[in-house]
Amino acid sequence: MASSMFLAQRRWFHSLPRNLSNARFFSALPSQHPVSVSGPQNNVGPKSNKFEKASSAPSSLKEPELAKFSAIADTWWDSEGPFKPLHKMNPTRLAFLRSTLCRHFRKDPLSARPFEGLRFIDVGCGGGILSEPLTRMGATVTGIDAIEKNIKIARLHANLDPTTSTIEYCCTTAEKLVEEQRKFDAVIALEVIEHVADAAEFCKSLSALTAHEGATVVSTINRSMRSYATAIVAAEYLLQWLPKGTHQWSSFLTPEELTMILKRAGVDVKEMAGFVYNPLTGRWSLSDDISVNFIAYGTKEK
Amino acid sequence: MNRIFATKAGSDVYRLRIPWRPFSNDAAPLLSSQNAGNPEKGSEAKQYDIAIVGGGMVGLALACSLASRPLTRHLNVAIIDSNPALGRKHFIKKEDLPDPRVSTITPATISFFKDIGAWQFVEQHRHAYFDKMQVWDYTGLSYAKYNARDADKEVLGCVVENKVLLSSLLSRVQETVLPKKIYPSRLNSMSILPNSSSSEVDSTLSMTALFTHGRLAKLELEDGNSLYAKLVVGADGGKSRVRELAGFRTTGWNYSQNAIICTVEHDVENHCAWQRFLPSGPLALLPIGDKFSNIVWTMSPKESSEFKSITEDNFLKAVNHALDYGYGPHPTPSILGSSDLFSWLKGGISKSANDCFEIPPKVVKLASERMAFPLSLRHANDYASKRVALIGDAAHTVHPLAGQGVNLGFGDASTLSSVISEGIAVGTDIGEVSLLKKYEADRKPANVMMMAVLDGFQKAYSVDFGPLNILRAAAFHGAHHISPLKKSIISYASGEMRLPLFA
């Protein structure tokens, strides 16, 4: 089982968007949402509000998203609660991180704490379910989130274990940290980019936070027919894993798009992998199938 | 001494609870876990990553397995067992007669032992590989002979005395770099509190505080020592204290049977494992090396006390009689037709199908005292809960009729250490239920399946009913002659297949 989690081979990835008509072009203008194909719920956040928000202070997170997450903030560490799918997916994400980052930083993958001495930032850390394991793996972790409640909860939980009580949590955004000129060896933003208003700006911030010869890792959900069926219809409506309206299909990025905007931000995507859920065993695993959940690892060019 | 019952609860994350009055001897500030000096009464409690309660074969196998994996070899391990043998270096003398407590080790376990580096020590002491097995019953209707060559193997298994296994594992664990400490005492009580958060933003939490918030389990020993651990592993046998304290429920029943075990001697060497199903239970003769064999005779409790008390000579006579013409005739091939009947089935005839029925070698001397113990089947409904995991007999006890018991335990130890290693690879707290449940999900189906098979055998053989006898004989006959079936049976019994009959 361990061997399947540590996939050493290179992931294939699309080098160019294959279907240009599908791609969304990111320009300097704040995003205007194309016609939403998403479910009946609330995507009608005050559009004008979003527009303003995006152009005035690029505090990436969309307004309705903030509200959504604040509501369920208390349940972050309840592994049977609304964040159950994330808890289940967590070990798989960590396996990918361990494998790619050990290789990137040339650390011994058989060491129990391979990331000793490295500074990581968990952007959109939520309750810290990613930050804590990374700290146990030796990294010096900073966790940021736009929602104050999340940070409070993350801090309380991290203090329960002396190893994780050293995590630096801040309620701030990536952009603000860029202004403060912070740099990190690895910038990790998992399951965040689908909730931000301007993905291109967000990626620029991620890139700016990455130190020279550092790594950037982003994970999100693909915008494909299959992901609509799985992540929206199945997860939100049929199985009720996620509260309705958690995701907006139109905000999803395809791997091509993500690669492109990261490239424009100066990050070269080197590997990509997908997360696949097996309903029989109830477990997630890494795979080549990037049609629903996928994760991309890139390096800063200069 | 206060009896404190363990409370393990689910997911009360944010209830601030101070239900605990800390003991006076454990207010030490948090130390990173270190190898301890001598534990004196009333001294500071130490913190360990894993506390293995029970330093028997399975508990020590877990320690060796952890020591052999790169990710877990630096974990701090405490082993709690009052057996004085664990403190001694070499407690086996070459000239000792074989102890009647032996185990049949399957090839899968042999490779596990080789992986953890303990098999080399086993080979330095008495051990007996065997490659042949003959199984028959009292009706004389049929028999089955198994040969390792049928499944393209070298051996069907190896019979080793338990004390040899224990000392080999102990020697191995002593020579590894795993930070370990043996506590020569018994577990008195154990407590685990539910998760809760603290309002202080203080990064130096003492062990007491960590325990109060559910991050550590607290163990109290009979000699007054206390220790804290992130994970408690119950490897303390069929009457597991950990299982009792942690509140695991069990299912099971007592077989109304006892087993008599003893060592016997022959005039010739024995390389075959023999098992004859008699009306009140199977009689097994297992080679132990140097012309010695081990006897496991299952019978009713009344008979067992009788056989235990009769003279040695009479006992030997009874054994020889039971292995020979006692209770029924020898099976002869002609009773159920020859092997031509099955030649049309695919797979052809197994190589050992033409091996004739043999009478086991005569037993000439009794080489140890006769011991008797009751048999039962017991299975814990769960193997894991918050900060606790059960392995070995603590999780499951089975009928000895197929020599599988301790092999299941070794399988548990191997899987648990692999699950812990994966948990550490992704930075998980090793006491988390979700991680431990992975161990349970892996072992439970395999263990339950094996128990069902063994229980089925036990029940099938406890009834003397004409048509059922014929059915059993047909089963024997089929197993003896049909090659793929025989291969399957051998593979499953060797521990190589998790589930029977599925390729």
User: Is the pLDDT assigned to residue A139 strictly greater than 90?
Assistant: yes
| A179-193, A214-228, B190-204: least confident range | B190-204
On chain A, the residues whose CB falls within 8 A of the CB of B210 are: 160-162
On chain B, the residues whose CB falls within 8 A of the CB of A139 are: none
Query: Average pLDDT, stretch A149-158?
Result: 90
Of B403, B135, B123, B97, the closest CA to residue B265 belongs to B97
User: Is the pLDDT assigned to residue B325 strictly greater than 80?
Assistant: no
Q: What percent of chain B has pLDDT over 90?
A: 38
Contact A95 B203 (CB under 8 A): no
Residues of chain A contacting B, Cβ within 8 Å: 1-2, 5-6, 74, 77-81, 87, 90-91, 94-95, 98, 110-112, 132-137, 155-157, 159-162, 165-166, 281
Backbone angles phi, psi at A67, to 5 degrees: -65, -45
A145 assigned to a ligand binding site = yes
Of B235, B304, B296, B290, the closest CA to residue B262 belongs to B296
Half-sphere exposure of B65 (CA within 13 A, CB side): 25
On chain A, the residues whose CB falls within 8 A of the CB of B71 are: 110-112
Contact B11 A79 (CB under 8 A): yes
CA-CA distance, A209 to A214, in Å (whole number)?
Answer: 9
Q: Does a structural domain hold residue B328?
A: yes
**pLDDT digit string, tens, across residues B154-166:** 888 999 999 999 9
On chain A, the residues whose CB falls within 8 A of the CB of B72 are: 112
Of A220, A201, A212, A195, the closest CA to residue A145 belongs to A195
Q: Does a structural domain hold residue B456?
A: yes
Best of A113, A160, A169, A284 to disrupt the B interface by mutation (most B CBs within 10 Å)? A160
Expressed as residue numbers, the domain containing B308 is 44-192+207-334+345-492
Best of B202, B205, B426 to disrupt the A interface by mutation (most A CBs within 10 Å)? B426
pLDDT of residue B348: 55
On chain B, the residues whose CB falls within 8 A of the CB of A137 are: 426-427
Q: What string of H, E and C letters represents the secondary structure of chain A? A: CHHHHCCCCCCCCCCCCCCHHHCCCCCCCCCCCCCCCCCCCCCCCCHHHHHHHHHCCCCCECHHHHHHHHHCHHHCCCCCCCCHHHHHHHHHHHHHHHHHHHHHCCCCCCCCCCCCCCEEEEECCCCCCCHHHHHHCCCEEEEEECCHHHHHHHHHHHCCCCCHHHCEEEECCHHHHHHCCCCEEEEEEECCHHHECCHHHHHHHHHHHEEEEEEEEEEEECCCHHHHHHHHHHHHHHCCCCCCCCCCHHHCCCHHHHHHHHHHCCEEEEEEEEEEEECCCCEEEEECCCCCEEEEEEEECC
**pLDDT digit string, tens, across residues B247-266:** 999 998 888 889 999 999 99
Distance from CA of B35 to the nearest CA of A (A): 18
Contact A112 B202 (CB under 8 A): no
Count how many residues are written for chain B. 503
Structure tokens at A190: 């998992």
Q: In the predicted model, what is the mean pLDDT of chain B?
A: 81
Rounded (5°) CA angle B278-B501-B282: 10
Answer whether A275's CB lies under 8 Å from A285's CB. Answer: yes
User: Is the pLDDT assigned to residue B352 strictly greater than 70?
Assistant: no
Answer whether B187's CB lies under 8 Å from B219's CB. Answer: yes
| Residues whose CB falls within 8 Å of the CB of residue A6, separated by 6 or more in sequence, listed in order | A95, A98, A99, A109, B425
Of B335, B297, B329, B275, the closest CA to residue B136 belongs to B275
Distance from CA of A128 to the nearest CA of B (A): 13
B446 and chain A: CB distance < 8 Å anywhere? no
User: Is the pLDDT assigned to residue B92 strictly greater than 80?
Assistant: no
Amino acid at B194: P
Beta-strand pair B217-221/B187-191:
antiparallel
Distance from CA of B205 to the nearest CA of A (A): 6
CA-CA distance, B429 to B49, in Å (whole number)?
Answer: 10
CA-CA distance, B479 to A56, in Å (whole number)?
Answer: 80
pLDDT of residue A144: 95
| A54-68, A183-197, B151-165, B317-331: least confident range | A54-68
pLDDT of residue B351: 62
- Nearest C-alpha in A relative to B14: A74
Contact A98 B418 (CB under 8 A): no
Rg of chain A taking only CA atoms, in angstroms:
18
pLDDT of residue B29: 36
Q: Does a structural domain hold residue B216?
A: yes
B199 and chain A: CB distance < 8 Å anywhere? yes
pLDDT of residue A1: 46
Beta-strand pair B250-265/B371-380:
antiparallel
Answer whether A296's CB lies under 8 Å from A218's CB. Answer: yes
**pLDDT digit string, tens, across residues B127-145:** 999 988 888 888 877 788 8
Of B299, B271, B266, B297, the closest CA to residue B284 belongs to B297
pLDDT of residue A19: 40
- Decide: residue B286, CB within 10 A, 0-12 exposed, 13-18 middle, 19+ buried: buried
Contact B197 A156 (CB under 8 A): yes
Model confidence at B3, pLDDT cuts 50, 70, 90, reads very low
pLDDT of residue B353: 67
DSSP letter for B99, please.
Answer: P
Please tell me which of the candidates B197, B418, B428 has its beta carbon nearest to residue A2. B418
B421 and chain A: CB distance < 8 Å anywhere? yes
Rounded (5°) CA angle B241-B179-B51: 15
Distance from CA of A9 to the nearest CA of B (A): 18
Please state whether B465 falls in left (phi above 0), alpha (psi between -120 and 50) or beta: beta
Domain count, chain A: 1
Query: Average pLDDT, stretch B93-117?
Result: 89
CA-CA distance, B385 to B433, in Å (whole number)?
Answer: 6
Of residues A244 and B58, which shows the higher confidence score?
B58
Q: What percent of chain B has pLDDT over 70?
A: 84
Checking ipTM against 0.90, whether it exceeds it is no
Please tell me which of the candidates A2, A79, A157 has its beta carbon nearest to residue B422. A2
Best of A159, A167, A284 to disrupt the B interface by mutation (most B CBs within 10 Å)? A159
- Nearest C-alpha in A relative to B72: A112
- Decide: residue A18, CB within 10 A, 0-12 exposed, 13-18 middle, 19+ buried: exposed
Of A162, A113, A160, A169, the closest CA to residue A141 belongs to A169
A124 assigned to a ligand binding site = yes
Distance from CA of A91 to the nearest CA of B (A): 6
- Decide: residue A109, CB within 10 A, 0-12 exposed, 13-18 middle, 19+ buried: middle
Please state the pTM of the whole predicted model.
0.80
Contact B425 A87 (CB under 8 A): no
Of A26, A22, A19, the closest CA to residue A197 belongs to A26
User: Is the pLDDT assigned to residue A33 strictly greater than 60?
Assistant: no
Of A260, A259, A292, A256, the closest CA to residue A274 belongs to A292
CATH label of the domain that carries residue A261: 3.40.50.150
End-to-end, the C-alpha distance of chain A in Å comes to: 37
Please tell me which of the candidates A2, A90, A165 has its beta carbon nearest to residue B421. A2
Query: Average pLDDT, stretch B446-471?
Result: 81
B356 and chain A: CB distance < 8 Å anywhere? no
Q: Which helix (H) or strand (E) holds B103?
A: strand B102-105
Of A289, A287, A260, the closest CA to residue A22 belongs to A260
Query: Average pLDDT, stretch A171-194?
Result: 93
Q: Does a structural domain hold residue B28?
A: no
Answer whether B478's CB lies under 8 Å from B488's CB. Answer: no
CA-CA distance, B475 to B459, in Å (whole number)?
Answer: 15
Best of B13, B33, B213, B436 to disrupt the A interface by mutation (most A CBs within 10 Å)? B13
User: Is the pLDDT assigned to residue A96 strictly greater than 80?
Assistant: yes
Count how many residues are written for chain A. 302
pLDDT of residue A45: 36
Of residues B202 and A224, which shows the higher confidence score?
A224
User: Is the pLDDT assigned to residue A24 strictly greater than 60?
Assistant: no
CATH label of the domain that carries residue B270: 3.50.50.60
pLDDT of residue A172: 92
Q: Does a structural domain hold residue B127?
A: yes
Query: Average pLDDT, stretch B81-87?
Result: 87
Residue B2: count of CB within 10 angstroms of its CB:
7
On chain A, the residues whose CB falls within 8 A of the CB of B28 are: none
pLDDT of residue A129: 93
Alpha helices, H only, B270-379: 301-309, 312-323
Question: Which residue, chain included where needed, has tokens 């998760």?
Answer: B195
Please tell me which of the candidates A81, A134, A160 has its beta carbon nearest to residue B213. A160
Of A212, A189, A213, the closest CA to residue A201 belongs to A189
Of A147, A278, A274, the closest CA to residue A219 belongs to A274
pLDDT of residue B2: 39
pLDDT of residue B138: 84
A190 assigned to a ligand binding site = yes
Contact A112 B195 (CB under 8 A): no
Structure tokens at B486: 């025989």
pLDDT of residue B20: 39
Rg of chain B taking only CA atoms, in angstroms:
25
Domain count, chain B: 1
On chain B, the residues whose CB falls within 8 A of the CB of A2 are: 418, 421-422, 425
User: Is the pLDDT assigned to residue A55 strictly greater than 70?
Assistant: no
Contact B215 A160 (CB under 8 A): yes
DSSP letter for B44, please.
Answer: P
Contact B71 A110 (CB under 8 A): yes
CA-CA distance, A75 to A144, in Å (whole number)?
Answer: 18
Model confidence at B33, pLDDT cuts 50, 70, 90, reads very low
Expressed as residue numbers, the domain containing A108 is 2-300
On chain B, the residues whose CB falls within 8 A of the CB of A77 are: 11, 13
CA-CA distance, B134 to A23, in Å (whole number)?
Answer: 71
pLDDT of residue A61: 65
